[in-house]
Structure 1
């Protein structure tokens, strides 16, 4: 039986993901949401460390467009804001730094696990993709947010996104679910009926709205509309398809 675990941040990835074949990184506002939007356009995405002075040189070396900070992005710039991906013509490759999801993805991938990016936009697709793998152990990691002092803030939106993946995978097959993963699934169930409202009302959502990035929250709230699964291949996230419905969805009634 497949084992399913949950953890918070980099330390959680190191603990829950220590023996995982697949690590699912969830950073809803905004790394993994931006990642899903980017791979939908066909772009490859290079995750990179935040505030690293080598980013521009590395982007140039890899023929990638460097995503700048959200607050300094001008017209035509791509940033951590998913809205900027949609506002600009598609590009083949993006270097996307972030302090949380990107860093966790890089360090986890370096240990040999298969890293997948999940958000509220694509959680069912991620679960279907995992269900077709031979992974014996899966760790779902809520990235959280870094406070100014470097400590971790447990971000509700990442807990909900992780819980959505866990709930979908548990519905797809028999899995050995840890108590921590059960808590994440319960948190998702508590807001499942109105996720967009919860996302706009949570601390991270309010912060982005107050900063003038309400559209980023709107995109993150496109619940389960994305079929793309970003998978870290080498040092690049590449979109894979999960468009085929597995048997556990076949019996569900179609929505009007």
Structure 2
């Protein structure tokens, strides 16, 4: 349920956090941001020509989902590390950057996947963004915004041990990177929430701040500093992962969708 005033409907560029925010602030186009590491891994995979099937669960259902789609199942970082077997594809963007011969990948991500599908269920066209492809996503969105479309950017955040939302600064930076580039491409009204994300991104010192923030330190201390370094590569990628049905694909491989604007 959206409270009056919370839907940011008087602005074309909007921002709200997490799964609840995804439901509270509808728009024509929705951008999911989970820098460490769902959307960074998604970007690396799509950049390598892989079709990505995000999935909400990390249990046996994910295995069945992969079999149903003839896809490889990505395992968790720590599981892959404990196996010591390079043949296992993991959720680590650094490891995924080195894989060969994979065309379809199931990417378990309870947070990012839940947000992406919730946004799709609202009728929005869903896009995955990170620091790596923020500029590319903005360029893809710019003509649509110029034509009157609305955009909501949803930083995923993390979860505390009691399953409440932990706003993650790296996702605020990623959201701000998209919005800042979009603001440069086309004139459009931005909500205070969106403008705050832009200011946060412009104040960030990359890659240092990503390595030193709570999520970055957690991964680096666990031996995954390369994942953080890849995630900090601002505008290193030109791909735009678009959710079509159950999978993300590069926007350049899709037929034009046509006008679907609801002027939300």
The answer as to whether partners of 1:2 and 1:174 remain within 8 angstroms in 2 is no
The answer as to whether partners of 1:47 and 1:97 remain within 8 angstroms in 2 is yes
Which residue does 2:67 correspond to in 1? 60
Which residue, 79, 96, 116 being the options, matches 2:107? Answer: 96
TM score, norm. by length of structure 1: 0.89
Which residue, 106, 119, 134 being the options, matches 2:130? Answer: 119
Please list the CA deviations of residues 177-214 of structure 1 after superposition, one character each: whole Å capped at 9, or x if unmatched: 001111111111111xx311111010000000011111
List aligned pairs for 1:181-192, cutoff 5 A: 181-191=194-204
List aligned pairs for 1:160-179, cutoff 5 A: 160-179=173-192
Which residue does 1:138 correspond to in 2? 151
The answer as to whether partners of 2:23 and 2:118 remain within 8 angstroms in 1 is no
- Runs of 4+ displaced beyond 2 Å: 50-53, 132-135
Partner Cα distance (1:126, 1:115) in 2: 11
Which residue, 10, 16, 27 being the options, matches 1:7? Answer: 16
Which residue does 1:230 correspond to in 2? 241
The answer as to whether partners of 1:125 and 1:229 remain within 8 angstroms in 2 is yes
Please list the CA deviations of residues 61-111 of structure 1 after superposition, one character each: whole Å capped at 9, or x if unmatched: 100101111110132111211112122214100000112212211221122
The answer as to whether partners of 1:43 and 1:90 remain within 8 angstroms in 2 is no
Which residue does 2:169 correspond to in 1? 156
Which residue does 1:31 correspond to in 2? 38
Which residue does 1:239 correspond to in 2? 250
Partner Cα distance (1:136, 1:87) in 2: 37
SS in 1 for 2:60: coil
Partner Cα distance (2:101, 2:111) in 1: 25
SS in 2 for 1:177: coil
Per the alignment, do residues 222 and 161 of structure 1 end up closer, same or farther by CA in structure 2, a change over 3 Å counting? Answer: same
**C-alpha root-mean-square deviation of aligned residues, in Å?**
1.6
How many residue pairs align between the two structures?
238
Partner Cα distance (2:158, 2:241) in 1: 21
SS in 1 for 2:35: coil
Higher-strand-fraction structure:
1
Which residue does 2:121 correspond to in 1? 110
How far off its partner does 1:44 sit?
Answer: 0.4
The answer as to whether partners of 1:50 and 1:103 remain within 8 angstroms in 2 is no
Partner Cα distance (1:180, 1:68) in 2: 35
SS in 2 for 1:56: helix
How far off its partner does 1:225 sit?
Answer: 0.9
Structure 1 unaligned runs (5+)?
Answer: 243-256
The answer as to whether partners of 1:140 and 1:162 remain within 8 angstroms in 2 is yes
Structure 2 unaligned runs (5+)?
Answer: 1-9, 254-264
TM score, norm. by length of structure 2: 0.87
Which residue does 1:147 correspond to in 2? 160
SS in 2 for 1:87: coil
How far off its partner does 1:52 sit?
Answer: 4.1
